[in-house]
Structure 1
């Protein structure tokens, strides 16, 4: 009985971290907002091709995030950028993305990226661009995974929590994109845009907290 209570107490922080990471990735990736973009991107394709694009795009996006999770800090160190500075810059970037989400600027930019990919004859496979990057593994997701991995302090449990949350969200995006036509009809653009704006408010708060964390790392409170 005592052992059971002890294990339960050990699991609580891990579960709390996982849920926190999950919220961050859900907000920055914005799965509901990807539905109308994916529908526009794959218009005219057969269902088989749509499934291939969805599976390939989400797989590539996850690989990109894992790469930055483990090698992003090396890139920063090579450029002589310290983590407090990256926290402040990353928080500012996330705040800008939140601003775009609140005022529908992000949807307009993503729709423009989608349109460019459909009309440019020399564009790469649309599963890579613009679906994987920047629609799924965009600046917000890459910045978030760098900041969250730094916050783990290098612990295995913390890294598993971050990557597990990223994998959960990417897996959810895969399922949503596989049924994008059905999801789009079920929710409608009004509901999708409303959800994106609510997520924008949450992201703005997370961005502010990230900036505060960066500043207090440089100037610790007395």
Structure 2
């Protein structure tokens, strides 16, 4: 196991795009106005635990159901592809019930550590070392915590148009990552 700064930055960028905490600011602001208080520390900690646990247990779960990591990575590439399309085109392909409280359930899961993040983690595991993935997760959770704490101010500063632009830029990055992930893992399906 070797810490690789380039890997950590790449993983961090991928997770940042998939988590899309900046794009979630309108949802967070809406939750805050509806319920008053958001438990930023608890939501961040629970999301971190969920992601790290899934990083290690996810592959075992796949083995139990007979799916290899390459197949999951290719499936993950499709999920990332559709998430990217949502971000770029401003459409909703994945529909989730609207959260009615700002507890751990809507924030930590599925808003922060959702299905796209889980798929991405196992896809990343096929390419990168665990230590670098964990460090990428931790870096993202620091950003997530800061955004949760300052969501109201960030929304006012950036504005609706600014949030839209950021979301589209990260959508394009995520689309490129999905294509790369697909290309690097699809060969493993036919070996």
- On whether the aligned pair clears a TM of 0.5, the verdict is yes
When normalised by structure 2's length, the TM-score is 0.91
Q: Tell me by how many angstroms 1:145 deviates.
A: 1.1
Structure-1 residue corresponding to 2:178? 207
Q: Distance in 2 between matches of 1:100 and 1:45?
A: 27
Match of 1:128 among 71, 81, 104: 104
Structure-1 residue corresponding to 2:30? 40
1:99 aligns with 2:54: no
Structure-2 residue corresponding to 1:155? none
Structure-2 residue corresponding to 1:143? 119
Q: Does the aligned pair in 2 maintain the 1:58–1:174 contact within 8 Å?
A: yes
When normalised by structure 1's length, the TM-score is 0.79
1:79 aligns with 2:65: yes
Which one has a bigger Cα radius of gyration? Answer: 1
Q: Does the aligned pair in 2 maintain the 1:149–1:162 contact within 8 Å?
A: yes
Q: Deviations over 1:44-71 (max 9, x none)?
A: 444xx33xx2221121111110111000
Q: Tell me by how many angstroms 1:129 deviates.
A: 2.1
Aligned residues: 190
Identify unmatched segments of 5+ residues in structure 1. 1-10, 119-124, 153-157
- Show structure 1 runs of 4+ deviating over 4 A: none
More helix by share: 1
Structure-1 residue corresponding to 2:149? 178
Q: Distance in 1 between matches of 2:71 and 2:63?
A: 12
Corresponding residue SS for 2:67: coil
Q: Deviations over 1:94-153 (max 9, x none)?
A: 1011111111224x967x64xx322xxxxxx6332211111111112111111112323x
Match of 2:4 among 8, 14, 23: 14
